[in-house]
């Protein structure tokens, strides 16, 4: 199966094309949003060079105090967090695995309870997101708070936050980073014409709307090398009321610009539910991937409710170079070995996705234990 073959993207050599998608699990040490031994065990279980993921993309990781939008998500903006992540990357590398950190700023998808001094979240508009979040260990969902619209002179500081976070990631032992530009978080809010209310030069025409996301990508590439940087998008998503009048054009231009930087990979959420897939996927996604590669970018990585069979088919047909799976990695720490053997696969338990303990986190059995 081609999905089991190695792949080199930029400066990253991966043992297979079965990647682990970023998965928020809300199990950081609190207070402080610090990665801990439980997190290291979880990632190490999925890191074995033969049985595990070709490349682990970490859970979304805030680059600054204002970047947090959910309780107990590990950050990468303090020395304690950096040290905590070092225990994770050491554990992954001891198993022969590779791991990149997904850099995250939620923008308006947050709550005052999670923001410094109880301030409102920040965003390129002052409108409420339709999303919900959780702000304490009860994990009860509450409405996101009304954001404060950013001032233009604040943006260079956020760009620096991303670049400094990328540098912290390298010091913490990560093999690279993935910039989170998807799912209506901050960079996606700037990209889409339905969410960006900024004045020039960061709002209005497409060139302006892409300016801030591209400044972030370039700053990260300058900090650690473009061959160690990926970027995630969700061009056809309406997640959290994401709106864009022409996502095909918007994200093709973004992809070409990222390709010209020489980024290692572009990672797209194609759908949340393959039974309800947007018919535009068949034309929009290949155009975006082609724009990225033709401009000098590396691999295209697909994500979106894939079966193993469809993933292998899409790789063999050159639709994509790798597929990032999510929930299958939650319940199958040796997912690649299970693919090699044709199963069986553990079923995940959605009720334990965010419970904060080892239950539903590190207690799913590998084949030798099943």
Nearest-angstrom CA–CA distance, 339 and 300: 21
Residue 305 lies in a domain: yes
| 25 inside domain | yes
- Give 54-68 pLDDT, tens digit per residue: 999 999 999 999 999
Torsion angle of alpha carbons 343, 337, 23, 63, nearest 10°? -170
Q: How far is CA 11 from the centre of its chain?
A: 19
Q: Angle of helix 79-94 relative to helix 37-45, nearest 10 degrees?
A: 30
User: What DSSP assignment string belongs to 113-175?
Assistant: GGSGGGPPPEESS-SPPS-EEE-STT--EEEPPPPEEPPGGGHHHHHHHHHHHHHHHHHTT-S
Instruction: Judge contact between 93 and 173, C-beta under 8 A.
Output: yes
Residue 206 in domain: yes
What's the total number of domains in the chain? 1
Which residue in 165, 281, 276 sits closest to 233, CA to CA?
281
Mean pLDDT (the chain) is 97
Whether 272 contacts 239, CB under 8 Å: yes
Model confidence at 15, pLDDT cuts 50, 70, 90, reads: very high
Closest by CA position to 123, among listed 71, 190, 70:
190
**Distance (Å, rounded) from C-alpha 67 to C-alpha 74?**
11
Q: Rounded to 5, what percent of the chain is helix, strand, coil? A: 40, 15, 45
* Residue span of the structural domain in which 125 resides: 2-352
pTM over 0.95? The answer is: yes
Report the pLDDT value the prediction gives residue 14, as an integer from 0 to 100.
97
At 82, the pLDDT band (50, 70, 90 cuts) reads very high
In a domain, 362, yes or no: no
pLDDT of residue 249: 98
pLDDT classification of 368: cutoffs 50, 70, 90: confident
Confidence category of residue 370, pLDDT binned at 50, 70, 90: low
pLDDT (mean) for 189-201: 97
* Element of type H or E holding 309: helix 308-316
Give the pLDDT score at 238.
78
Looking at the chain, the whole-number percentage of residues with pLDDT higher than 90 is 96
Q: How far apart are CA 21 and CA 57, in angstroms?
A: 6
Task: Tell me the average pLDDT across 221-236.
Answer: 98
On the CB side of 357, CA atoms within 13 Å amount to 4
Which CATH number is 144's domain given?
A: 3.20.20.70
Could you give the 3-state DSSP secondary structure of residue 360?
Answer: coil
Q: Residue 133: which of 159, 163, 151, 108 has the closest Cα?
A: 108
202 flagged as catalytic? no
Q: Is residue 310 part of a domain?
A: yes
Query: Residue 79: which pLDDT band, with cuts at 50, 70 and 90?
Result: very high
The answer to whether position 361 is within a domain reads no
- What is 186-203 written as a DSSP string? HHHHHHSTTT--PPTTSS
Separate counts of helices (H) and strands (E) for the chain = 11, 14
99-104 and 176-180 strand pairing: parallel
Among the options 42, 71, 185, 361, which is catalytic? 185
d(CA 233, CA 186): 12
* DSSP-derived secondary structure letter, 238: -
Q: Which of 307, 300, 292, 293 is closest to 338 using CA atoms?
A: 307
Q: At 369, is the pLDDT very low, low, confident or very high (cuts 50, 70, 90)?
A: low
Write out pLDDT tens, residues 314-365. 999 999 999 999 999 999 999 999 999 999 999 999 999 999 999 999 999 9
> Tell me: the pLDDT tens digits for 292-310?
999 999 999 999 999 999 9
State the pLDDT confidence band at 13, using cuts at 50, 70 and 90: very high
Q: How confident is the model at residue 241 (pLDDT cuts 50, 70, 90)?
A: confident
pLDDT score at 242: 86
Q: Is the pLDDT of residue 239 over 80?
A: no
Q: Is residue 370 part of a domain?
A: no
The reported pLDDT for the residue numbered 240 is: 72
The alpha carbon torsion through 154, 164, 31, 84 (nearest 10 deg) reads 170
CB 264 within 8 A of CB 12: yes
């Amino acid at each position: 199966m081609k999905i089991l073959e190695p792949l080199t993207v930029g400066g990253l050599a991966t043992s297979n094309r079965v990647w682990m998608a970023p998965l928020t699990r809300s199990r950081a040490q609190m207070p402080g949003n610090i990665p801990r031994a439980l997190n290291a065990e979880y990632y190490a279980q999925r890191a074995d060079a033969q049985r595990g993921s070709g490349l682990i993309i970490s859970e979304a990781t805030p680059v600054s105090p204002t970047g947090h939008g959910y309780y107990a998500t590990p950050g990468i903006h303090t020395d304690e967090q950096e040290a905590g992540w070092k225990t994770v990357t050491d554990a992954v590398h001891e198993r022969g695995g590779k791991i990149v950190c997904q850099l995250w700023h939620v923008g308006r998808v947050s709550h005052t309870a999670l923001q410094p001094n109880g301030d409102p979240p920040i965003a390129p508009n002052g409108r409420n997101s339709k999303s919900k979040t959780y702000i304490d260990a009860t994990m009860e969902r509450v409405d996101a708070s009304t954001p404060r619209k950013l001032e233009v002179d604040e943006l260079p500081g956020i760009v620096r936050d991303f670049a400094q976070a990328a540098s912290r990631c390298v010091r913490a032992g990560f093999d690279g980073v993935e910039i989170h530009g998807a799912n209506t978080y901050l960079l996606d809010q700037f990209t889409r014409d339905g969410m960006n209310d900024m004045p020039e030069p960061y709002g209005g025409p497409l060139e302006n709307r892409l300016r801030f996301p591209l400044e972030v990508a370039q700053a990260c590439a300058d900090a650690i090398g473009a061959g160690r940087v990926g970027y995630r998008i969700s061009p056809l998503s309406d997640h959290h009321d994401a709106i864009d009048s022409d996502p095909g054009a918007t994200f093709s231009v973004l992809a070409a610009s990222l390709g010209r930087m020489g980024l290692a990979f572009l990672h797209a959420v194609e759908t949340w539910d393959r039974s309800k897939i947007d018919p535009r996927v068949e034309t929009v996604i290949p155009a975006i991937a082609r724009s990225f590669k033709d401009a000098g970018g590396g691999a295209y990585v697909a994500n979106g409710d894939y079966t193993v069979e469809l993933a292998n088919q899409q790789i063999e047909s050159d639709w994509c170079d790798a597929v990032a799976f999510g929930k299958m990695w939650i319940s199958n720490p040796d997912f690649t070995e299970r693919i090699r053997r044709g199963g069986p696969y553990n079923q995940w338990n959605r009720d334990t996705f965010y419970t904060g303990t080892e239950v539903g986190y590190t207690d799913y059995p590998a084949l030798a234990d099943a």
